[in-house]
Structure 1
């Protein structure tokens, strides 16, 4: 499992699930983050270059990978590598949904660039956390079954 960790709000939930399933996880970030001292948890600190963590995760992704990220463009790259991708809200990114997500992202960027005031994402909630736990547990179960 690979985690885009710099702004990931569900790292503690990830640890609980991977420990229960005995699945290794790589916590990838641009800066040194505190991670549990556990043999299944590996901290990967990449350079501080633009998209360095994204590049590392995309290159490490394959059909056996589960990736956790909120970054739509990284999700697209990982899907193209064959990985299963999950947002911290528990919403899966799929090959069927990623095009719409990319288009929406582009529209919102254009609106912001034009000076329009657009709201950001809703605050992260307990429901998001619960949905993520269920989705990650199901995803890892599917990957383990092959």
Structure 2
């Protein structure tokens, strides 16, 4: 049996001092990230990405840009989320700036809605770091504040 097979698919979660992080993994790609109040009973806790999250929460710099993610979102939203992955560790950008980076017109209402929807519906926050964008993302605000605080120190 492949030693990595146990981490290629499943639900993995771990409680940390400041939050719980839950990962959904399929075919070796992260398909979902959430921050529940408690670790689900059916979640395994042993996954290399959770080890990296632990190091990140302990203050280690990690951009997570090498983490394979599966973005099953419309093409326009995908371009927004791919642009978010390029926001440097420790920096924040406005929604308007992100729209421009992703090739959208922040003055156009439909374009702005596309950008905001992509952020709110981001299936893999932290690995697509919407906490680095000012405004509303999929990362709960208390967790986003924690991540921004870690990255600013």
Pairwise TM-score range, normalised by the shorter structure: under 0.3
- Structure having the higher helix fraction is 1
TM (norm. structure 2) is: 0.24
TM (norm. structure 1) is: 0.25
